[in-house]
Amino acid sequence: MKSSLRKVMAVAFATLAALATVTDAAAEGGDPGVTSTTVSKLPSAKLLLPTKAKVPATISAGEKSAGFVIAMRKGSNGYFAIVGSAKAAKEENTGAIDGAAAPREACFAEDSPVFRGFGGERDESPWRSNLQERMHMSPSQRGGQRAPVSAVHSERIAEENGRVSLEVVDAWVDPNTRGVRLIGRATLPLELVATVLGGTKLYAARDGQSVHVILVRPNDRKRGGHDPIFATADNTAFNSSCDHIGVTVKAEKGSAQTATVISSVELPSVATTEPVEPKPDADGATPSRPALREVRVRPVHVQASVMWASRDKEPVLTISAGWDSRERTGVGL
């Protein structure tokens, strides 16, 4: 049985390696590639799990937590957004969102009963709700009932002095008072394990028998940074509208586990014409919007696998990447 598992995994990795060698004459930047590392070489970290604590009945309006900024537009009927900085709050309040590259903002996910186990209790699984840069909440539900206090999860990729880490903050948020109460914080040091086409990087850290793999796209909004990233892990599908997403795979002796991520890669333009300049308006004024350019995007399929064969002393993390479909060409900023 164990010998068969090794053969199956070997065939799978060989297939992925062959897939990764698929090239496109118009694509530049090299091969997505296949790489592996032993899990013991990864930095040790502890990820915050969804809290099992009793949900507070209410939180006072004066309670705040760093990294959770409330933004509300006039006339929003109580709807508000949770963002990661004062700059993002100003953009949300005015509706003037800057699409240029900026320091990485926090991303948020809200607790949901659909991700709980039977009886509404959490199992020992990491957060797998969908990540979003701006989490919108309302003080009321259907029928005019008050919305309950909810657990909100925050993640941010931090880069300092050449080191990359994942900063995690969980907090209770009261949609009625807009009060925020800290649940816990954690920082995961990450190790770069692979780089795929377009500058997308794969980082990892070990946590007991679990391996956390974080895909991070280039911090450049002009390269399709708003396209969602999709992932599947442990029979659960989720996505991120941010520039990163994380998956967790377990390392158990005599077995293997795989998680999949699909992200978009922007390829260099092959257009032979100059960017399309905006045409003058009817009154002869030239619009202030920037010139349009050719945009070429192709999805890349990344698999993170941990295998611990019975004869091996420790598990091995393998990152494999290949094209997921043909490229799409359009016009953008």
List pLDDT tens digits, range 247-291: 999 988 888 999 999 988 777 766 655 555 556 666 666 555 555
Cα(198)–Cα(265) distance, integer angstroms? 6
Q: Which of 129, 168, 140 is nearest to 77 (CA)?
A: 140
Cα(162)–Cα(204) distance, integer angstroms? 15
pTM for the predicted model, two decimal places: 0.78
Strand partners, 157: 166
Mean pLDDT of the chain: 78
Look at residue 79 and tell me whether its pLDDT is greater than 70: yes
Better-scored residue on pLDDT, 150 or 326: 150
Cα(188)–Cα(44) distance, integer angstroms? 8
Beta carbons of 67 and 84 less than 8 angstroms apart: yes
Please state the rounded mean pLDDT for residues 157-162.
90
Q: Which of 92-96, 155-159, 275-279, 310-314 has the highest mean pLDDT?
A: 155-159
Q: Where are the beta strands (DSSP E) in 91-225?
A: 107-110, 135-137, 150-160, 163-173, 180-189, 191-195, 201-207, 210-216
Calculate the alpha carbon distances from 279 to 272, 289, 291 in Å.
20, 10, 10
Please state the rounded mean pLDDT for residues 190-204.
89
89-126 confidence digits (pLDDT tens): 888 888 766 554 456 789 999 875 444 444 444 445 66
Looking at residue 283, its pLDDT comes to 66
Looking at residue 324, its pLDDT comes to 78
Query: Which tokens belong to 145?
Result: 């009932």
